[in-house]
Structure 1
Amino acid sequence: MKYYAVLLPMANQEKSERFRPQHLSFLESMRQAKHVKANGKFTDGSGGLVIYRAASFEECESFVKQDPYIQNGARNYEIHEWDAVWAE
């Protein structure tokens, strides 16, 4: 498995607030399925970051496109394969 850092820059503040519960529920289901390692919002309000686990860029993008934030135009996305080094 590879790791992908997915930036979710703000596209529409009102939609971001409206679809936040669905977005968080989606992330929780992805975390339970072991596809999300970490997630969080930026404190400056500019968006957030999700760390996905996926076999390929294409698989990661397919996960991202299921996010209610993306489906409803609340956020844009930018995917970067990430060569993570984890502290144990």
Structure 2
Amino acid sequence: MKYFAVLLPMKDEELSKEHRPAHLEYLEQRRSEGKIFANGRFVDGWGGLVIYKAESLEEAKQLAAEDPFVKLGARDCQVHEWDIVIS
């Protein structure tokens, strides 16, 4: 299993507020499937970060693209494979 950092910079604040419940529900569903390592928002309002666990970059991109924030135009999306180091 690989880790992928998905940056979700704010695109439309009003759409983000509107679709936040669907976004959180989506994350909870993926979490129950073991696909999420961590997630959270940036306190400065920039957006958020989701760390997905996936087999490939393509799978991670698909997971990110299905997030309501991304699908409905509230957030942009950048996906990067993350070589995690925990000490």
Give the TM-score normalised by the residue count of structure 1. Answer: 0.96
Shift of 1:44: 0.3
Structure 2: state its 5+ residue gaps: none
Matched, 1:23 2:23: yes
Deviations 1:5-25 (A, max 9, x none): 100000000000000000000
SS at match of 2:38: strand
Identical amino acids, percent of aligned pairs = 51
**Take 2:64 and 2:6, find their aligned partners in 1: how far apart are those partners?**
8
Given residue 54 of structure 1, which amino acid in structure 2 is its aligned partner? Answer: A
The count of residues paired between Structure 1 and Structure 2 equals: 87
Distance 1:71 1:50 in 2: 15
What's 1:57 paired with? 57
Measured in 2, the distance between the counterparts of 1:62 and 1:78 equals: 12
What is the TM-score of this pair, normalised by structure 2?
A: 0.97
- For 1:5-58, what per-residue CA distance to the aligned partner results, in whole angstroms no more than 9, with x for missing partners? 100000000000000000000000001100011000000001000000000000
Residue type at the aligned position of 1:65: A
1:48-70 CA-partner distances (Å, limit 9, x unpaired): 00000000000000101110000
Over 6 Å off, 4+ runs: none
Distance in 1 of aligned mates of 2:3 and 2:41: 18
